[in-house]
Amino acid sequence: MNKTAKTGLFEKYLTRGAESSIHAAYLKKYRINRILVRLTQIFLLFAFLLLWETASHKQWINQLLFSSPSEIWSLFVSMLLGGELTVHITATLLETILGFFLGTLFGTLAAVGIWWSRFVSDVVDPYLVVLNGMPKVALGPIFIVAFGGGYGAIIAMGVAISVIITTIVVYTSFREVDPNYIKLARTFGASKSQIFQKVIFPASFPTIISTLKVNVGLAWVGIIVGEFLVSKFGLGYLIIYGFQVFNFTLVYVSLFIIAICATFMYQAVVSLEKHLLKQRD
C-alpha cells in the first residue's frame, strides 16, 4: 500500500472518529435533557400538591369544595382496601376499552365506505359536518330508550362521541393521498380494491394509528357521560354520587383514577403505534 492510500485511510478513520464523538455527545446531551424534563415535571407535580395541601389546611381555599391531597389519598386507600373501588374501576375501564375499539373500527369502516363511492361521498359529506357539530350528549335519552338503562346505552354514548371524528379524520386522510400515486396504479391496471390496499391504506396508515390516540380521550368522555346518565356502577357514577351527597373528596378520587387510567391507556396506544410503524418500516 502506497503512502497516499495510507494517508486516505487515516483521514477516513479520523473522520469516522469525529462523527462518532459528535453522535455520542448528542446522545449524552439528549439523555441529560430527558432527565431534566422528567425531574422538572415531578417537581411541578409535588409543588402543586404541596401548595394545594397547604392552602387547604391554612383555609386559603374552601375545604369542602376543594378537599386536599391527603384526604383524597386517605379515601382512595380505604375504598381500595374495602374492595368497592375495584368494581367501579373495572366497569368503567371495560366500557371505555370496548367503546374505544368499536368507535375506531366503525369510524374507519365508514371512512372506507365513503371513499369507495364518490356518489356516497357527495351525499354524506354535509351530514358528517352536521353530526360532528351536534353535541352527542343530546343523544343520551335516545340511547337510553333504544338500549335500555344499562351498559348498552353507556357504550353507545362512547361510540357516538368517537365514531364521527374518526370517520372525518380517516376519510380526509384517504382523500389527501397524492393523486399521482393513484394514477400510476391505474396505469398498471390496478383495480379499486388494489388501489386501496396498495396505495390509499398504506399512505393513510400513520393517520389511522394517530387517530387511536385521539379516540382514547373521546372514549373516556363518552363513557363517563354515559355513566352520568344511567349507570349505577363506574367512576362516572361515583362523580355524580359525590356531587349529590356533597362529598367532593369522592369526586376528586374518581377524577384522579380517571386521569391515571387514561394516561396508561394513552401510553399503551403510543407503544402500539411505535410497534406497528416499526413493523411497517
Q: What pLDDT was estimated at residue 232? A: 82
- Asked whether the beta carbons of 265 and 177 are under 8 A apart, the reply is no
Q: Is the pLDDT of residue 54 over 90?
A: yes
Q: Over the chain, what is the mean pLDDT?
A: 85
Alpha-carbon span 203 to 34, nearest angstrom? 32
Three-state DSSP state, 246: coil
Cell numbers standing for residue 178: 397524492
Q: 0.85 cut: is pTM over it?
A: no
Q: Where are the alpha helices (DSSP H) in the chain?
A: 3-57, 63-66, 69-82, 84-116, 118-133, 140-147, 151-175, 179-187, 192-195, 201-230, 235-244, 248-280
Calculate the CA 231 to chain-centre distance: 23
pLDDT above 80 (res 11):
no
Q: Grade residue 17 by pLDDT with cuts at 50, 70 and 90.
A: low
Q: Which of 102, 91, 138, 108 is nearest to 254 (CA)?
A: 91
pLDDT band at 148 (very low <50, low <70, confident <90, very high): confident
CB neighbours of residue 73 within 10 Å: 15
pLDDT at 10 over 50: no
User: What is the average pLDDT across 74-84?
Assistant: 90
Contacts of 25 (CB under 8 A, 6+ apart): none
Residue 53 is predicted with a pLDDT of 93
Higher pLDDT, 189 or 276: 189
Pairwise CA distance, residues 217 & 213, whole Å: 7
Stretch 158-187: mean pLDDT, rounded? 88
22-26, 93-97, 266-270: least confidently modelled range = 22-26
Q: Is the predicted pLDDT of residue 274 greater than 70, yes or no?
A: yes
pLDDT for the residue 134: 82
What does the DSSP 8-state code read for residue 139?
Answer: G
